[in-house]
């Protein structure tokens, strides 16, 4: 039988002694809020309070929590098998998921490599690009090109293509592999992009013939600043990659599965990359899973080299439980009018967040799909601001100078209004 739950005071004491939370000190641990249950868009705290979740568990819980369809998929797969190695074996859940992803992602991405997390998906994408060029006899093509204000994960190669100046990984600058950085895309989403807007990227590509691939977050630069940029710019990136003979990697870990109003953000520009990374929302927030997709040409190029295979193989690759839940989550999403739900969220956020634009301490307000952002002029004290939201019955976790929401798609109008108005109220307190 399961052990009885720990008293809250004891739980928090043990947490402070042993648990090391993300981006937090282990010596002076931050205040944390014990969650005992979650359902729909609400988190239930140990003291009985309920919080409307505005972050979808770091952008992953599209369908909210405790969804009966995903629960059923988990129970059914558990009754069959929870895990089996993917080396030399296969199983229905993984095959079904790979087939779904190949069908739904932009054209020509037919090969699917399953993995554990978004950062690992980026590592694999970079490894694919480097191994592709090695197999073509171009081992000199070993550098990456990206744009400033990007974020691609916390593992080492992923960190090396995050913003080296304003990103969260500056202290590793002397250790990480060196890559090339072009200017951050300047035209905003919905604006046209001129030749001058691509000048920085074009100049770097023209000056260096050792570039294996360009890696970019399509349309939305997520943890690097929640910047929404022009679809024209992304089309220009694709054209420049083709012109200079380099691969294009699109990191859709944050944007995939409908978050921007398109199933994948690449669709805003009508382009398809050579390599695509997906993760976060792939299982609806139930289990960690990600995938790196590539074209048949990239796969053939890699496998035609001396190794004869992509040299990567996670222990839990193709985990049946995660794959079964992912299939259920994706099928649930596409079986419903999700575009209408995202459009409704976008419309409500535009209306409710707009008053914040008038506050002296606010630099910008922007909304795209199911993403709403209030950008403050000054950095935010995360712990104290987070507590302000908890006191309002909301779970919003700001970072840098951003108060943002990426709510579950199932959120209703009343809860979304409460969430957005709470964001505006906190922004007013910080900088009216």
Query: Of 430, 364, 376, 426, nearest to 401 (Cα)?
Result: 376
Q: Which residue has the tokens 């996670």?
A: 314
Integer angstrom CA distances of residue 237 from 32, 47, 243: 42, 51, 10
Rounded to whole angstroms, how far apart are CA atoms 66 and 99?
26
23 is catalytic: yes
**Which residues pair with residue 404 across a beta bridge?**
373
Strand order in the sheet with 275-278: 111-115, 290-294, 275-278, 247-251, 211-216, 143-147, 180-182
Rounded to whole angstroms, how far apart are CA atoms 261 and 190?
13
Q: Which of 65, 151, 233, 286 is catalytic?
A: 151
Q: Which of 229, 233, 280, 415 is catalytic?
A: 280
Q: Which residue has the tokens 């990984």?
A: 169
Which tokens in the block code for residue 25? Answer: 């000190």
Strand order in the sheet with 42-45: 35-39, 42-45, 50-53, 394-395
Task: Please enumerate in sequence order all residues whose Cβ is within 8 A of that of 40, keeping only pairs 6 or more positions apart, or say none.
Answer: 64, 65, 66, 408, 410
151 is catalytic: yes
Q: What are phi and psi of 413, to 5 degrees?
A: -65, -40
CB atoms within 10 A of CB 180: 18
251 is catalytic: yes
Rounded to whole angstroms, how far apart are CA atoms 284 and 282?
6
Q: Which of 251, 262, 274, 404 is catalytic?
A: 251
Task: Please enumerate in sequence order all residues whose Cβ is within 8 A of that of 171, keeping only pairs 6 or more positions apart, or say none.
Answer: none
- Provide the strand spans (E) within 132-261: 143-147, 180-182, 211-216, 220-221, 227-228, 247-251
**Which residues pair with residue 364 across a beta bridge?**
375
Residues marked as catalytic? 23, 151, 251, 280
């Amino acid at each position: 039988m399961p052990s009885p739950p720990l008293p809250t005071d004891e739980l928090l004491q043990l947490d402070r002694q042993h648990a090391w939370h993300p981006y937090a000190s282990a010596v002076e641990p931050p205040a944390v809020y014990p969650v005992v249950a979650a359902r729909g868009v609400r988190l239930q705290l140990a003291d009985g309070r309920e919080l409307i979740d505005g972050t979808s568990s770091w952008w992953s819980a599209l369908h909210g929590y405790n969804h009966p369809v995903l629960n059923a998929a988990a129970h059914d797969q558990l009754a069959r098998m929870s895990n089996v190695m993917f080396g030399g074996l296969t199983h229905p859940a993984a095959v079904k998921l790979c087939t779904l992803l190949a069908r739904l992602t932009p054209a020509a991405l037919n090969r699917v490599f399953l993995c554990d997390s978004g950062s690992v998906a980026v590592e694999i994408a970079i490894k694919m690009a480097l191994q592709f060029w090695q197999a073509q006899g171009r081992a000199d093509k070993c550098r990456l090109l990206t744009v400033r204000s990007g974020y691609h994960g916390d593992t080492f190669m992923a960190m090396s293509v995050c913003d080296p100046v304003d990103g969260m990984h500056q202290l590793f600058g002397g250790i990480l592999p060196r890559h090339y950085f072009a200017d951050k895309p300047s035209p905003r989403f919905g604006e046209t992009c001129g030749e001058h807007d691509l000048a920085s990227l074009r100049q770097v590509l023209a000056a260096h013939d050792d570039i294996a691939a360009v890696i970019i977050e399509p349309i939305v630069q997520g943890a690097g600043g929640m910047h929404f940029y022009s679809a024209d710019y992304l089309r220009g990136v694709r054209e420049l990659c083709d012109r200079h003979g380099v691969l294009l990697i699109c990191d859709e870990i944050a944007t995939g599965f409908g978050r921007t109003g398109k199933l994948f953000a690449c669709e805003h520009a009508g382009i398809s990359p050579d390599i695509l990374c997906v993760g976060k929302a792939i299982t609806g927030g139930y289990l960690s899973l990600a995938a790196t997709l590539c074209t048949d040409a990239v796969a053939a190029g890699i496998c035609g080299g001396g190794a004869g295979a992509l040299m990567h193989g996670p222990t839990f690759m193709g985990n049946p439980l995660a794959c079964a839940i992912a299939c259920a989550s994706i099928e649930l999403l596409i079986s419903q009018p999700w575009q209408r739900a995202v459009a409704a969220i976008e419309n409500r956020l535009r209306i409710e967040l707009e008053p914040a634009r008038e506050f002296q301490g606010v630099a910008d307000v922007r909304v795209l799909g199911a993403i709403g952002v209030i950008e403050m002029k000054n950095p935010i004290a995360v712990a104290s601001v987070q507590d302000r939201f908890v006191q309002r019955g909301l779970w919003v976790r700001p970072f840098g100078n951003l108060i943002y929401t990426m709510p579950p798609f199932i959120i209703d109008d009343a809860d979304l209004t409460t969430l957005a108005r709470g964001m505006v109220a906190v922004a007013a307190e910080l900088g009216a």
